Structure 1
Amino acid sequence: MNRTEAQDIVKESITRVVPDADFTGIGPDVPFRDTLEMDSLDFLGFIETLSKRTGIRIDDEDTPQLTTLSSSTEFLLAHTK
């Protein structure tokens, strides 16, 4: 998986939980949870979707790494090598 593929998976996983998500105003290091007004159930849905799509186990202690587009992308890249 390359960086572009990983970022696309992150965005697609968010969009499954927040269908009208607009990424134009979200920089790579901006916490998307607040920007997209995701509550805790939405965020959990994102984590579950991301895990199912990638086959990567995501533990509770991993979730702080999944708050921005860039950190989520880096997480995927680090766990697919």
Structure 2
Amino acid sequence: MTPPEIRQVIINILERIAPDEDLSDLDDSVAFREQMELDSMDFLDIVMELRKLYRVQIPESDYEQLASMNSTVEYLTPILKDTEV
């Protein structure tokens, strides 16, 4: 998967988790929690969706690397590079 494809996967997950949020003006460099009303359970839902969809195991110690879209895509790019969309 390419970084733009990974970004779209994250957008799709966010749309399911927070259907009332407007993601059209999402700033990729700002933490999700600063832009959206996400609680810790919503964040865990993102991690669980990635696990379910792509069998990605994200250790709890790495959760801070999933704070913003940019950091999430950067973290997932080497992990998902050989994965088909």
Verify same fold: TM over 0.5: yes
Taking a change above 3 Å as real, the CA distance of residues 57 and 8 of structure 1, as seen in their structure-2 partners, is same
Once residues 62 and 13 of structure 2 are traced to their aligned partners in structure 1, the CA distance between those partners, rounded to angstroms, is 16
Mind listing any 5+ residue stretches in structure 2 that lack a counterpart?
none
Q: Which residue of 2 aligns with 1:3?
A: 3
TM-score (norm 2): 0.84
Deviation of 1:17 after TM superposition, in Å, equals 0.9
Task: Give 3-state SS (helix, strand or coil) of 1:24's partner.
Answer: coil
Aligned partner of 1:18 in structure 2 is: 18
CA RMSD of aligned residues (A): 1.3
Who is 2:44 aligned against?
Answer: 44
- Structure 1 segments, 4+ long, off by >4 Å, are none
Gaps of 5+ in 1: none
How many residues align? The count is 81
Fraction of identical pairs, as percent: 31
Question: Does 2:75 match 1:75?
Answer: yes
TM-score by length of 1: 0.87
